[in-house]
């Protein structure tokens, strides 16, 4: 199975250099060289490699941390893996060393989530949709039009309600949630040749909408009048090119970062559900740390969460600028059009009640989460 190419500012000569450096000095040094701007400097690379080696030897604990994303993906996708490494190492005063494994080296999606759960690795970053088979309760965020806006999602995942009710259920599955963040809300993006911009659910009637194996997202697009079509992520580009699928729904930054720039015609910013991720550690590993390092770990996680939310606007602008230059059109629904989306698909519809009960445990608990999403939290999202 092929995987979508990752279209980031790291171009072919830099990519070759990246893998050359990784082979000689290790992936963590190569990642830091990209983010630090010294990929071509032998002296700086050698110094960084020596520094990394010395840090790892001096540390009392090593955290192997895997992601699906390349070192410089943060330019267009707000995943702050190098920032987390720096934050934890600094706040633990060198007692914890973070060994980064980016770009899917240790697996992607469910495979990476499973390795974290099993303790094969100490931590990783995976979408909540890919975590949901292991921790179903987090799939609540895929009920549309209640926490899709970035500010509402930030309010929700930093709230006492979420961390009192949802986080313990995640912990019970073997994960220590480090922090949650969102790339941006999901979109409705259509392939070249589709011929129209999707402005309201009426424009989706009969549309073949690519979805992952999420029952919630399938129900969402059925309510919108589309034909949800389950397509593996790696097969999605060819499905769009061949007309097997007409559209897909990742956030703007994800569409650019994963190389859909040459495939899409238009992107509608519907703000339906968050395209969300979780940084998670293996719970038993975290519990094995001394209390002072657990506190440093939590502080580093909170700091990186704030940095991730702050990066959303930058990443979105970089992605939209590049896709706009390529001729992709962007559309923001009017207030009247947004109302049509909510009325057709929103969480208030009775079709969602069974899912709310199944995932949250009760309608009342879901309503508690909804109230938290609508209550301003400690993080303010710009843009």
Q: What is the pTM assigned to this prediction?
A: 0.91
Statement to judge: residues 306 and 329 lie in one domain: no
Average pLDDT (346-356) is 97
Statement to judge: residues 118 and 169 lie in one domain: yes
Statement to judge: residues 171 and 254 lie in one domain: no
Statement to judge: residues 52 and 134 lie in one domain: yes
Statement to judge: residues 221 and 98 lie in one domain: no
pLDDT at 9 > cutoff 60? no
pLDDT at 34 > cutoff 90? no
Which CATH number fits the domain that encloses residue 220? 3.40.190.170
380 inside domain: no
Statement to judge: residues 110 and 223 lie in one domain: no
Place of tokens 């007309």: 243
207 is in which domain, residue-wise? Answer: 188-273+321-373
Domain count, the chain: 2
Q: Are 254 and 77 in contact (CB under 8 A)?
A: yes
How many CB atoms are located within 10 Å of the residue 93 CB? 11
Tokens matching residue 245: 């699928």
Statement to judge: residues 250 and 369 lie in one domain: yes
DSSP strand pairing (208-211 vs 123-127): unpaired
3 inside domain: no
Among candidate residues 310, 333, 362, the one where a domain is terminated: 310
Average pLDDT (369-379) is 97
Tens digits of residue pLDDT in 146-178: 999 999 999 999 999 999 999 999 999 999 999
Confidence bin at 3 (pLDDT 50/70/90): very low
Which of the residue ranges 172-176, 212-216, 281-285 would you say has the lowest mean pLDDT?
A: 212-216
DSSP strand pairing (61-66 vs 96-101): parallel
7 inside domain: no
Average pLDDT (11-22) is 82
pLDDT of residue 132: 87
Based on the number of CB atoms within 10 Å of its own CB, is 77 exposed (0-12), middle (13-18) or buried (19 or more)?
buried
Place of tokens 């912990």: 171
Tens digits of residue pLDDT in 72-101: 899 999 999 999 999 999 999 999 999 999
Statement to judge: residues 350 and 227 lie in one domain: yes
Statement to judge: residues 175 and 97 lie in one domain: yes
pLDDT of residue 11: 59
Statement to judge: residues 176 and 215 lie in one domain: no
Q: What is the mean pLDDT of the chain?
A: 93
């Amino acid at each position: 199975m092929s995987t979508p190419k990752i279209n980031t500012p790291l171009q072919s000569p830099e990519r070759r250099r990246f893998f050359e450096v990784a082979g000689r000095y290790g992936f963590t040094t190569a990642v830091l060289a990209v983010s630090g701007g010294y990929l071509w400097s032998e002296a700086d690379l050698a110094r960084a490699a020596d520094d990394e080696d010395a840090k790892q030897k001096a540390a009392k604990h090593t955290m192997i941390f895997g992601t699906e994303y390349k070192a410089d993906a943060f330019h267009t996708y707000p995943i702050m893996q190098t920032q987390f490494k720096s934050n934890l190492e600094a706040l633990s005063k060198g007692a914890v060393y973070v060994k980064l494994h980016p770009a899917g080296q240790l697996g992607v999606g469910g495979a990476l989530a499973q390795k974290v759960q099993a303790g094969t690795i100490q931590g990783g970053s995976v979408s909540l949709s890919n975590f949901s088979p292991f921790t179903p309760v987090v799939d609540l965020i895929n009920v549309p039009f209640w926490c899709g806006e970035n500010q509402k999602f930030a309010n929700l995942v930093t709230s006492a309600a979420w961390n009192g009710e949802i986080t313990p259920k995640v912990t019970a599955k073997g994960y220590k949630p480090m922090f949650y963040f969102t790339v941006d809300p999901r979109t409705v993006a259509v392939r070249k040749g589709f011929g129209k911009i999707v402005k309201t659910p009426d424009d989706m009637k009969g549309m073949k909408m690519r979805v992952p194996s999420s029952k919630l997202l399938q129900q969402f697009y059925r309510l919108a009048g589309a034909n949800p079509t389950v397509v593996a992520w790696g097969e999605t580009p060819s499905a769009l090119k061949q007309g097997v699928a007409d559209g897909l729904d990742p956030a703007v930054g994800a569409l650019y970062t994963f190389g859909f720039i040459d495939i899409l015609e238009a992107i509608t910013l519907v703000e339906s559900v968050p395209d969300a991720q979780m940084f998670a550690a293996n719970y038993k590993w975290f519990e094995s740390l001394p209390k002072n390092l657990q506190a440093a770990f939590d502080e580093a996680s909170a700091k990186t969460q704030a940095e991730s939310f702050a990066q959303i606007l930058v990443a979105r602008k970089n992605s939209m600028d590049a896709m706009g230059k390529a001729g992709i059109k962007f559309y923001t629904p009017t207030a009247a059009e947004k109302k049509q989306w909510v009325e057709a698909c929103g969480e208030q519809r009775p079709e969602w009640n069974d899912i709310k009960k199944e995932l949250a445990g009760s309608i009342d608990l879901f309503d508690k989460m909804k109230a938290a999403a609508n209550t301003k939290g400690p993080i303010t999202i710009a843009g």
